[in-house]
């Protein structure tokens, strides 16, 4: 007879609510630990690197403003994507929808360049919203009419959108006095989002994003359609939902993402960038997918996750400036975070038990 | 159009289609086992940079191929642990793999940006390569292109002529039944996932070492996603995967030839062609839901674990 420690994995009778909230925290912790290891492997002092990456970017007022600027598109797009993801509608096209939003909003700004009307900004944002939704309606239409997989269609459209933006910025939208550089005129004051706090770049668009998150919360948690979306995302969606009902949710899911990404695109060019460039996003459309998952497809969680992801972007820049860390580390951190989350979610549905038990020895 | 130009275009289409052949045949085997791995793009990118570095450091094509395949398989192993052992959602895990692969390949490639390799020479086969028309069309490629054809034969033979292939397909159709018969469903799915990863890695190596032997961040440029679409387009049949791959190879190179004819079209518009073609092809194929349902592995994308049943 000898004592043996048995490790046993067993399904939980009910998914654990506690683990649902703990697993993003666990994932973030594991990512930080991996970060320390990566820093060490790159031959940096891990404590110093950690400080440069995660603390230095936000230890002053300006840095906190930058954090909010970066988090703003992420939380807005993440919320929009969550509407679709909750119903298992996978819009991977936010990066393209953002580019089209920026293109439409930017075209308004370029066309009314001489005007100082107060209607220009609202017109830009509306144009971006419509553009983003139109771009998202392509996968929605092809999915509902022809059953074409929305993941592949929305993803392909990212490449098309980015090429379209580049083409127009090289062509009709180019600044005629710009020495041939592929960029539009610098937007005037009437086409730029006002700065809220002197000494930072914090613009009012951040408030719009926060309003979007709140609106998303009301829609998802309090409306009947939000309830339908939750049901549809559950196990027996085919059994519960007649085709036409589910088609409606496909449209809503994709349009919500397109709307959010389109508006986010306008806020980038009317905010920190201030003009149209061939490339307007450092992968916000993809990062927002991670934000949506890490935020548990819940607007509150998405808000917090967007701050973490924004810090990863800032940390990448700061680490490069201060410690010569390659900024590409950011992409690795983003991917690792999602890996760890998916792995940690195992603990939502299963528990690991260790028990000492008497066993027959041999 | 004269014959030599037609020949030239066809040969170029085969070369451009070869990365799709590797990646899509690998994904085909993975999907036949019932697992949907959306991380092909990420696995190709990591395979591409790993093979590129190995080639730059050693100059050995064999080493480049082996390390690229190993890197793709290692990426696939992460996907396997998440989806097969930890039962995570396959769509989310595949996306994570692609996002991680984009970051990792950019990071690994930092010191190699715009670094150029000598490329891979075409094999000159005595007599055969010198034949008129047939010579350039069939016998003017590098060793990797021929390997992709061998891969096609091997995959077709394996899936439809061997017991193991039958078992793999059976697991994709009905994992519960295979489990009840005493087969290790999870173990076999792991092998299928690893194979898919190795082939995606090899597709990446072909791109970075032979097709355009210069490292550019994100150089796979959506080919992994096109490969996924090709599997649907081929309704999960190897021969159609080949046909689709060369068709897309042709579309990829069409952009260069249109400009060659002196037609004034913005280059970005031409670069959109493969992506738009993918969407059109998906729509045409997916309209026929009956065919899709009959041909797609019945358990595709669904999480399965014997202890759950």
Is position B309 within any domain? Answer: no
A-chain CB neighbours of B49 within 8 Å are none
Whether residue B1 is predicted with pLDDT greater than 80 in this model: the reply is no
Query: Which of A4-13, A92-101, B77-86, B152-161 is least confident?
Result: A4-13
Q: Nearest Cα to B124, choosing from B114, B134, B135?
A: B135
Query: Which of A214-228, B25-39, B262-276 is least confident?
Result: B262-276
Handedness of CA B170, B171, B172, B175 (dihedral sign): positive
The single-letter DSSP state of residue A145 is: H
Confidence of residue B291 (pLDDT cuts 50, 70, 90): confident
Q: Which residues of chain A have pLDDT under 70?
A: 1-6, 234-244, 355-362
| B265 CB neighbour count, 10 Å cutoff | 10
Cα A325 from Cα A336, distance rounded (Å): 18
| A202 CB neighbour count, 10 Å cutoff | 23
Is position A24 within any domain? Answer: no
Q: Nearest Cα to A288, choosing from A316, A269, A260?
A: A260
Largest distance between two CA atoms of chain A: 89
- Segment 17-56 of chain A within 8 Å of chain B by CB: none
Res A124: pLDDT: 97
Residue pLDDT, tens place only, A169-186: 999 999 988 888 899 999
Q: What φ, ψ does residue B234 adopt, rounded to 5°?
A: -80, 5
Nearest to A329 among B88, B107, B308 (CB): B107
A-chain CB neighbours of B279 within 8 Å are 142, 148, 152-153, 156-157
Judged by a CB distance cut-off of 8 A, whether residue B294 touches chain A is no
Is position B127 within any domain? Answer: no
| A329 CB neighbour count, 10 Å cutoff | 25
Res A241: pLDDT: 59
Nearest to B286 among A146, A164, A336 (CB): A146
- Segment 26-45 of chain B within 8 Å of chain A by CB: 38
Task: Report the CATH number that the domain containing residue A154 is assigned in CATH.
Answer: 1.10.3470
Cα A278 from Cα A273, distance rounded (Å): 12
Per the prediction, chain B carries an average pLDDT of 92
Do residues A154 and A92 make contact, with C-beta atoms less than 8 angstroms apart?
A: yes
Q: Between chains, do A152 and B102 touch, taking CB under 8 Å as contact?
A: no
Q: What φ, ψ does residue B6 adopt, rounded to 5°?
A: -60, -45
Chain B residue at shortest CA distance from A288: B99
B-chain CB neighbours of A286 within 8 Å are 99, 102
Q: Between chains, do A335 and B102 touch, taking CB under 8 Å as contact?
A: yes
A-chain CB neighbours of B226 within 8 Å are 156
Q: Between chains, do B268 and A152 touch, taking CB under 8 Å as contact?
A: no
Res A361: pLDDT: 41
Chain B residue at shortest CA distance from A339: B96
A-chain CB neighbours of B78 within 8 Å are 339
The percentage of residues in chain B with a pLDDT greater than 70, rounded to a whole number, is 98
Res A351: pLDDT: 84
How many domains, chain B? 1
- Segment 73-92 of chain B within 8 Å of chain A by CB: 78, 81-82, 86-89, 91-92
Cα A356 from Cα A349, distance rounded (Å): 23
Name residues whose C-beta falls within 8 Å of residue A267's C-beta, 6 or more positions apart in sequence: A72, A73, A76, A125, A193, A203, A205, A208, A209
B-chain CB neighbours of A159 within 8 Å are 221-222, 272, 275
For A157-206, the DSSP string reads HHHHHHHHHHHHHHTTTS-TTSTT-S--PPP-GGGSPPBSSTTS--BTHH
The percentage of residues in chain A with a pLDDT greater than 70, rounded to a whole number, is 93
Confidence of residue B308 (pLDDT cuts 50, 70, 90): low
| A316 CB neighbour count, 10 Å cutoff | 23
Judged by a CB distance cut-off of 8 A, whether residue A166 touches chain B is yes
The single-letter DSSP state of residue B113 is: T
Nearest to B99 among A164, A290, A329 (CB): A290
Residue A154: half-sphere exposure toward Cβ, Cα within 13 Å: 32
Is position A191 within any domain? Answer: yes
Alpha-carbon distance A196 to nearest alpha carbon in chain B (angstroms): 34
Chain B residue at shortest CA distance from A160: B272
Do residues B115 and A351 make contact, with C-beta atoms less than 8 angstroms apart?
A: no
| A7 CB neighbour count, 10 Å cutoff | 8
Whether residue B154 is predicted with pLDDT greater than 60 in this model: the reply is yes
Q: How many residues does chain A have?
A: 362
Res A358: pLDDT: 46
- The residue range of the domain holding A276 is 43-325
Report the SS3 class of residue B263. Answer: coil
Q: Nearest Cα to A157, choosing from A97, A219, A89?
A: A97
Residue pLDDT, tens place only, A222-256: 999 998 888 877 654 554 556 668 899 999 999 99
Cα A76 from Cα A99, distance rounded (Å): 15
Q: Which of B39, B41, B79, B86 to mutate to test the interface with A (most CBs of A within 10 A)?
A: B86
Q: Which of B107, B270, B307 to mutate to test the interface with A (most CBs of A within 10 A)?
A: B107
Task: Report the CATH number that the domain containing residue B15 is assigned in CATH.
Answer: 1.10.3470
Q: Between chains, do A142 and B279 touch, taking CB under 8 Å as contact?
A: yes
Cα B167 from Cα B136, distance rounded (Å): 40
Is position B126 within any domain? Answer: no
Whether residue B224 is predicted with pLDDT greater than 90 in this model: the reply is yes
Is position B161 within any domain? Answer: yes
Judged by a CB distance cut-off of 8 A, whether residue A147 touches chain B is yes
Res A243: pLDDT: 63
Strand partners, A5: A356
Is position A360 within any domain? Answer: no
B-chain CB neighbours of A336 within 8 Å are 100
Confidence of residue B31 (pLDDT cuts 50, 70, 90): very high
Res A33: pLDDT: 94
Rounded to an integer, the average pLDDT of B6-11 is 88
Q: Between chains, do B268 and A342 touch, taking CB under 8 Å as contact?
A: no
Nearest to B286 among A149, A330, A336 (CB): A149
The single-letter DSSP state of residue B130 is: G
């Amino acid at each position: 007879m000898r004592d043996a420690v048995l490790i046993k994995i067993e399904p939980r009778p009910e998914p654990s609510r506690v683990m649902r909230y703990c697993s993003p925290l666990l994932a973030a912790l594991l990512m930080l630990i991996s970060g320390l290891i990566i820093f060490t492997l790159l031959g940096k002092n891990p404590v110093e690197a950690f400080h440069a990456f995660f603390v230095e970017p936000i230890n002053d007022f300006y840095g906190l403003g930058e954090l909010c600027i970066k988090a703003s598109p992420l939380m807005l797009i993440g919320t929009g994507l969550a509407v679709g993801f909750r119903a298992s509608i996978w819009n991977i096209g936010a990066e393209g929808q953002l580019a089209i939003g920026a293109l439409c909003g930017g075209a308004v700004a370029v066309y009314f360049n001489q005007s100082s009307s107060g209607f220009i900004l609202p017109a830009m944002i509306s144009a971006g919203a419509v553009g983003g939704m139109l771009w998202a309606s392509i996968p929605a239409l092809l999915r509902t009419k022809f059953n074409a997989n929305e993941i592949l269609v929305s993803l392909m459209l990212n490449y098309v959108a980015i090429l379209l933006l580049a083409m127009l910025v090289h062509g009709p939208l180019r600044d005629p006095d710009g020495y041939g550089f592929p960029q539009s005129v610098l937007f005037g004051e009437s086409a730029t989002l006002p700065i809220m706090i002197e000494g930072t770049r914090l613009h009012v668009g951040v408030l719009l994003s926060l309003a979007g998150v709140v609106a998303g919360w009301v829609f998802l948690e309090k409306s009947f359609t939000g309830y339908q979306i939750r049901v549809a995302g559950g196990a027996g969606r085919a059994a519960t939902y007649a085709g036409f009902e589910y088609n409606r949710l496909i449209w809503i899911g994709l349009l919500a993402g397109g709307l959010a990404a389109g508006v986010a695109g306008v806020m980038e060019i009317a905010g920190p960038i201030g003009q149209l460039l061939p490339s307007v996003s450092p992968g916000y459309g993809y990062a927002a997918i991670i934000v949506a998952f890490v935020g548990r497809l819940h607007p509150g969680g998405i808000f917090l996750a967007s701050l973490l992801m924004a810090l990863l972007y800032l940390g990448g820049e700061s680490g490069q400036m201060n410690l010569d860390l390659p900024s590409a580390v950011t992409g690795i951190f983003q991917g690792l975070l999602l890996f760890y989350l998916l792995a940690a979610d195992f603990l939502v549905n299963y528990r690991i038990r260790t028990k000492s038990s008497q066993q027959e020895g041999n | 159009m004269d014959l030599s130009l037609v020949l030239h275009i066809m040969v170029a289409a085969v070369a451009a289609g070869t990365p799709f052949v590797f990646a899509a045949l690998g994904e085909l085997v993975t999907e036949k086992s019932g697992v949907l791995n959306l991380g092909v793009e990420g696995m190709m990118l990591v395979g591409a940079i790993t093979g590129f570095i190995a080639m730059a450091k050693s100059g050995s094509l064999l080493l480049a191929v082996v390390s690229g395949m190993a890197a793709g398989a290692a990426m696939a192993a992460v996907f396997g642990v998440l989806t097969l052992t930890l039962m995570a959602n396959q769509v989310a895990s595949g996306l994570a793999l692609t996002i991680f692969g984009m970051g990792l390949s950019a990071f690994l490639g930092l010191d190699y940006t715009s670094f150029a390799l000598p490329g891979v020479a075409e094999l000159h086969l005595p007599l055969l390569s010198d034949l008129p028309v047939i010579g350039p069309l069939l016998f003017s490629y590098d060793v990797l292109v021929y390997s992709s054809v061998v891969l096609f034969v091997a995959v077709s033979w394996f899936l439809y002529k061997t017991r193991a292939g039958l078992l793999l397909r059976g697991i994709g159709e009905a994992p519960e039944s295979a489990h009840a018969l005493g087969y290790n469903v999870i173990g076999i799915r792991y092998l299928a996932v690893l194979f898919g990863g190795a082939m995606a890695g090899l597709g990446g190596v072909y791109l970075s070492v032979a097709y355009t032997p210069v490292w550019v961040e994100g150089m796979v440029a959506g080919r992994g996603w096109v490969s996924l679409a090709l599997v649907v387009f081929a309704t999960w049949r190897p021969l159609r995967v080949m046909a689709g791959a060369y068709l897309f190879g042709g579309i990829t190179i069409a952009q260069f030839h249109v400009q060659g004819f002196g037609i004034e079209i913005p280059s970005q518009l031409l670069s959109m062609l493969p992506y738009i073609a993918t969407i059109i092809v998906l729509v045409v194929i997916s309209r026929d839901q009956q065919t899709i349902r009959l041909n797609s592995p019945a358990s595709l994308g669904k999480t399965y674990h014997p202890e759950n049943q």
